[in-house]
Every structure is written in structure tokens, then in C-alpha cells.
Structure 1
Amino acid sequence: MKASKAVYDAIRESKIDFVVGVPCANLKNLINLINDNKNNSQITYIPATREEEAIGICAGAHLAGRKTCLLMQNSGLGNSINAIGSLCKVYQIPMLIIISHRGELKEKIPAQIPMGRWTKNLLETAEIPYYCPKTPEEAYKIIIHASEYSETMGYPVAILLDALYWEHDIYNNLSP
């Protein structure tokens, strides 16, 4: 099982039917899988321009009865902390957040490093449980359980997928 396919299959298995994403190079293949299979999978995909906008869209979809997932890069976590605290926490809105974790091993862009180092601390401060699967097989299992946990808890749960995880994706060398 490859990286993007494992995440896509876990989203489907979790019965998530509404995904909002902020573009990221590591997430492009996952977004393409969702869009390519939307007629078969019953997943609605909405692109967003900012992470706090994506939180609001997911919250509205949840209130309309949808099971939601947010796709974003960890650099957007700082942008979305207030929306998570003032919306998701206050109104008990569950949401699976799949985060492309930039700024650690194999990072080539210096500007990504500060947020990469702060990501886990920000999640802990916001009381968002997070998991860091290392293989597609592990990600598949964890995403399913994390989605259930988010629903039970009534609050977001995050999955951090770093550069080493995305190396499992055979599609990384293909253009979008």
C-alpha cells in the first residue's frame, strides 16, 4: 500500500464524506485520488485558500450531518489555531486533520523549519491529540481509529505525515 492510497482508503473506510483541503505538494496525489474517484467514493472535496477558512467549511459540513476531514500543511496550523479553539472546541466539532508535516528531516526550505519544530507543541497546547504513522499500513489503521476517536471526543484529531512517510508514495515523481 502506498502513501496517498493508504490515506485515501482509510478516509473511505472511516466513512468520511466531506474533505476540505489547502494545497500542498505532499497532498497533491491524495487530492487527485479523491477527485478522480469522487463518482465512486461519495466524497465531496472542497479546495480552500486558507486553513481557518477550511475549519469553518468543515464545521458547517459537520453541522449539516457530514463526516469531515481537513487536509493541510503544518505551516497552516498556526493560521487555524484560533478557529480550532473558538469553533471546534466550543461547539464540540469533530474533524480528522491530515497534516503534511514539513520542516523536519529532509526539509530543503529553511522557512519551513520553525513551524516544523513547533507543530507538535502547538497541537499539545491546543489539546489536539496527534499521531505520527511511519508507514502506509500504519497510517491506514491509525486514521480509521483517529477518525472514530474524533467523533467520540467531539474535537479534532490530527495525523502528522512527514517527509519520510511520503517517500512511500510511488506517485511523488509524477506531475500533478
Structure 2
Amino acid sequence: MGDGALSVWEKSSTARVVPPARPRKLAKVPFVELADGRLQGVVSSGSDIGRVYVSSVAAGSYAFSCSTNNNRPCGGAHGSFCNHIRALVGEAVLQYGVERVARYLKVDAEDTTDAHALTSAMTSSRPGPGDSAAAAQVFSRFLRHLAYLELPPTTTPLPEMQWFPTTRAVAA
């Protein structure tokens, strides 16, 4: 579209949303995203209902971080991926598909047939600890998403949601 003409989706206030590769159960990993050069998200604690972990894996280097919502380091993320990061990778594969996650994280796609193979490919390169500074931003985005769930049902448009993607077809 080099002639200055805009496509239909560029003129609309909505964007196409790719449906999940497979349905996810949100209880264990309520928030997962491929953003800011990382696979990142929020993972529920297996032992404390009031605790969640903010986990991430950097694209290319596979540097990882995992800490609680209070910025306390995960006890299982010493030198290798903890169970929270493994769960995050598994849910990302369900949400986006193994090919897309592998491509985003820059993992050799030959051996990435499922979440376990993807995790094995990343850990075989011996990734080190990553920067946990992004945890606060990821957790804030998660809380912002949760706030929308608390709004009463309405058909009135929300001004702050005008940008939000929709799965409705856009009329030409």
C-alpha cells in the first residue's frame, strides 16, 4: 500500500484477533503475552492462592526471570527454568501455537513440536538469569486487564477500550 491508500482494517478502530490455537485454562496461567522481546506472564502459585509469579523468557538469549508479585525471587529458578516458566511456555503454546512462540523466541523450529520440546531446546543452551525489572510492568498490565472484568455488563462503549481488538468482521 505504498500509494498512500489505507486498507479497511487501517481505517477502522478495530484490529483482527487471531483466535487461540487451543482453549486455555486460566486458573494456572491467567495472563500470557509475547511482548517487549519476551514471553512473559503471570502464573498462579501452586501452594498459596494469594500469590502469583511474574515470569519471563527473553527472545534469543532465553534469559529468564521469575518472582512473586511482591518482587521476591522464585525459589525454583536457580540456574534453570522453574515450574512457573515451564507452565508459562506451555500456556503460550496453547494460546499462540508452537510455531509462533518458537519464531518469536528465536528457537530453532526443527525440534519444537510441542511445549516440552520448545522448553528443552531453550534450556539446552544454558540460559542465565534475566532482568526482572520488567516484572512490575507485566503485573500492572495484568491488573489492568483484571479491572475490566469487574465492570458491570453494558453495551455502552468504553472510551478507553476504543483501541481494543475485536473479532467482529469490519464492514468495507
TM-score interval, normalised by the smaller of the two chains: under 0.3
TM-score (structure 2 length as normaliser): 0.26
